[in-house]
Amino acid sequence: MPRTTISLIVSVSTFLVVMLLAGYVTGTPAFLMNRDDTDTLRIATTTSLDDSGLLNDILPDFEERYNTQVDLIAVGTGQAMVLAERGDVDLVLVHAPELEQEFVAQGYGVDRTTFMTNPFVIVGPVDDPAEVADASSAGDALSRIADSGASFVSRGDDSGTHFKELEIWASAGLSPSSSMGWYQPVGQGMGETLLTANEMEAYTLTDRATFVAIAPERVADLESLYGSPGQPGEGDPLLDNPYSAIAVNPESHPETRIDLARNFVDWLNMDSTLTSISEFGVETHGEPLFTLIEGS
């Protein structure tokens, strides 16, 4: 069954401008209008699950099992939640725990299920001018970059990765901005941010799965320096990166397909699905890219 994937990699402010230009303020996005969604589940997913290839690998099983087409909208976590709050999607796949808890508490989401992790890592130039590989913590790693004046590329898009980056800067008592010169927000998804960092020979924060999955020749001037297995920072709790599925609350938006969203959550918890997730990446990259959360 064919699947539609729409990538919207823009900042929230740009996203709102795009919505206005699309001709609506209180209605539904143009790419979600005029459709028969009898058997269509609309999912807004964080870009890392799209860039890594995980969803493309596992979703055909769900579509066949439930005779349901999945339409994916790949955006940052913040934008995914904006779509969900408007009722423009049925379910979100996101990775910003505090925002998720607030989203559910405000009545926008139900049936939150946290099912896997994919740690953040700090990548940068092979010669590592800021000596990030010698850092004692994630905060120390970013402090070294700031102190050295080496370039740092930020997602700058209100994504889960961007929120985590800001949290790490805050842990070091820092709050960088583009006025500093060396700090470059790009308002892009993870894949594009990595390509920009490679071109600039700059540092950036990324989820490990996307960095491993991207074609090596496209990021030949970057390497993981902090947080990967066998490196300083492995297991650093500040680099933890759990992913959750959250259905849109039908009490807030009765028109959403809560039945299909709950089918999806049930499917995520099936042994066969969890096995597929835990084995994803082994054949292509020689190692799993995601780790199941105990109890999933």
CA nearest neighbour of 261 among 108, 110, 91, 107? 91
Could you give the angle at which helices 77-86 and 97-105 cross, rounded to 10 degrees?
A: 10
Task: Give me the pLDDT at residue 203, please.
Answer: 98
Q: Which two tokens stand for residue 35?
A: 């459709």
CA separation for the pair 203, 150 (Å, rounded): 8
Do the domains 4-118+243-292 and 120-239 sit in the same CATH topology, yes or no? Answer: yes
CA 251, distance to chain mean position in Å, is: 27
48: how many CB neighbours lie within 10 A of its CB? 32
Task: Give me the pLDDT at residue 24, please.
Answer: 38
Find residue 244's DSSP bridge partners: 94, 114
* Whole-structure pTM value: 0.85
Find residue 246's DSSP bridge partners: 92
Task: Give me the pLDDT at residue 1, please.
Answer: 53
Class of domain 120-239: alpha beta
Which helix (H) or strand (E) segment holds residue 212: the answer is helix 208-213
Q: Are 162 and 154 in contact (CB under 8 A)?
A: yes
> What's the half-sphere exposure (Cβ side, CA atoms, 13 Å) at 187?
8
Q: Which two tokens stand for residue 284?
A: 């292509």
- Residue by residue, pLDDT tens for the chain (296 residues) are 555 555 554 444 444 444 444 443 444 444 444 445 449 999 999 999 999 999 999 999 999 999 999 999 999 999 999 999 999 999 999 999 999 999 999 999 999 999 999 999 999 999 999 999 999 999 999 999 999 999 999 999 999 999 999 999 999 999 999 999 999 999 999 999 999 999 999 999 999 999 999 999 999 999 999 999 999 999 999 999 999 999 999 999 999 999 999 999 999 999 999 999 999 999 999 999 999 997 65
Look up tokens 């996203």; give the residue. 15
114-160: per-residue pLDDT in tens? 999 999 999 999 999 999 999 999 999 999 999 999 999 999 999 99
CA nearest neighbour of 278 among 290, 266, 268? 290
Class of domain 4-118+243-292: alpha beta
CA separation for the pair 112, 98 (Å, rounded): 12
Task: Give me the pLDDT at residue 122, please.
Answer: 98
Sequence ranges of the domains in the chain? 4-118+243-292, 120-239
Number of H helices, E strands in the chain: 12, 12
